[in-house]
Structure 1
Amino acid sequence: MPSNHVDMNINTAKRFLPVLISYIIDWVFIVGIALIGYGFHKVTPNHHPFSLTDPSISFPYTTHETVSTAVLVVASLIAPAVIIVLVTLVFIPGSAVPGGRSLRSLSTWKYKVWEWNAGWLGLALAVAGAFMATEGLKDLYGKPRPDMLARCDPDLSDIGAYVVGGLGGRLDGAPRLVGWEICRNKGKMLVIDGFVSFPSGHSSFAFAGLTYLSLWLCAKFSIGFSYLAHSPFSQDLHSQRRESIRNQGAAPPVIMVILAFVPMAVAFFISASRWFDFRHHGFDIIFGSVMGIVFAWASFRLYHLPIMRGAGWAWGARSPRHAFFKGVGLPSHIGGDNWSSVKDLPQSAEHATQDVDLESGPRNLAE
């Protein structure tokens, strides 16, 4: 009997090896996305012509940033990653799952490891994608920062030699556009960093990581608007039926709402600091923030069920047969041969009426 049990475990491990490899490849690609973004960061951007009389780029250069790049990474990536680990270890799978409170249970650790992996995959994809897209756009647009003239230290003795456009020489009051070569300071502070105002990297990175964390916390602790499935019954219901509908949801405690949206408040502060540090124009910050939110939302939805309809669970793992590729006509990468098959996944609210316990999660993990 022990020999048969060992053989079964070995066969199971071999069977699901493609799934493990597929997720390792996912991590490799996410790291690759981040490295591409770093490569974009090192590229010399385009240098958009500017006017020496433009007040929007005439702000002073501040040597001390309110939120440095190191602090940004800690607040928007490392801290969310640590919080995801801690919440996963402490609160998942929860008391509703059979054996969920027993840390010695193998099924419990399967829950924890999978939710941990899914949580980190979404976070990493959000920040890596936002980072790569932001750095690439910075290079393409080459927009001067608000403090560009302070960085530039322009040569005012021969402005005409650097004029590249504008009607300033023929029309009184019209501006003249000059090239970056007019700057006497041709160091990295100008050539690379002075023309990367759009979009705001701090804003996109902060909102990618911290919006994702807020969504993740809302999912795990059911913080959101209560969900009421569509009912075939008419609105003219007797009082008992109306009472049962009212009892299908309740508002979460305000303290939980506050805790879930603290990450968003931090992201707003980080993005605002780029305004009063004269590092970005207003539109640069808004665009970067929206970009980060889009990456956060997309990454969250790739790996996690809807906040109020999935009981806080991540989607299941891919099946061995569809670990690397899904053929045409198949609904998803899930198959009947995976460790959390369709019939065992946490069901959505539409199926809750079929005696499905949302809180129980993937039942086969607990068996």
Structure 2
Amino acid sequence: FFHCLVCVKMVAVWLLFFFSVNVEGFFFFPEIEKFYLPGDADAGISLYLTPLLEEGKYEEAQQLSRVKPDLGNITSYSGFFTINKHCQSNLFFWFFPAQKGQWKDAPLLLWLEGGPGLTSLYSILLTIGPLKYHEGELQKQEFSWNLETNLLLIDQPVGTGYSFTKSGCYAKNETDVGEGLYKALIQFYQLFPELVKNNFFISGQSYAGHYIPALGHAIHKYNPGAEVKISLAAMMIGNGLSDAETQLDYGNHLYYLGLIDDAARDVYNQNYKQFVQDIKDKNWNAASKLSYAFRGFLYDKFVGRKVDFFNYIDGSSISPRNLSRYIQSAEFRKALQIGYLPFHSFPNVYHFLRN
């Protein structure tokens, strides 16, 4: 499968990186509801692996990171990598070894979510992962990206999902994001040295179209002098936000799908015209508000939530609220060694990257 991918030459990493950091400066995200644990909840411990890795206790760290019992009969590992001790900044990861063949010989694929500030848990449990969320529990997914591929998710940057910083050291640009991811990735390879020489793929969607080239750039920058040399083979950007003026023409898109009528398209197009003007004027706040309306208020008014925003063919959709409740539950936290750490949504990540 991966041999069919369009590989990105290393020299192109520079071009993609500089293109990425200069695209339109506004963001897109759905709302995520926070749920709080009851006072008697048992959420287990938070597993910080960096101290063990620094002491050279790699096997012990790997054993401790094993998720027990296996969720959905799938082997996985999870925990936290410290990327800035002074700021107490830690990135949460969840790793699934390839299900078929020898996982130690399989390529490694990193999945990054966008937002900015959206946890990768949603994609893992709804689309590409070996586990799927269904009616309050995790079940084995028949079709998954990790059947023959090692799959790694990292919630990034800090302030996303269960990744956190205690000193306000949030990423202020894509360079910060790439540097933080690189530090976490080096620790991952210390935890799983069997994978160092295998092909490595960076993948993701939406606003991760900024993060993916940033990490590729960091690898390109540090690889020559690094003890751990990452075998970057390709970068995959799905539905990446790179040209908002072209990508957010929702009125015509929905119209030609037959989901809205002429009157609704006119309303969309009027707002889109103002949206384009705001971009040209670099009025990012106004452009952001309109972008939310395209997928929020206007979508609810003219299309309705019976048509899933991400899959208009399938009328059924999993309630984001139910999934949000599950990934913030004591049961889930304990299984993945998250503990009582707060679950983060968008505000801080959004604020610091925007400014």
Structure with greater strand share of residues? 2
TM-score by length of 1: 0.27
Higher relative contact order (CA 8 A, sep 6+): 2
Instruction: Please report the TM-score for the alignment, with normalisation by the length of structure 2.
Output: 0.28
Structure 1 or 2, whichever has the larger Rg, is 1
Higher helix share: 1
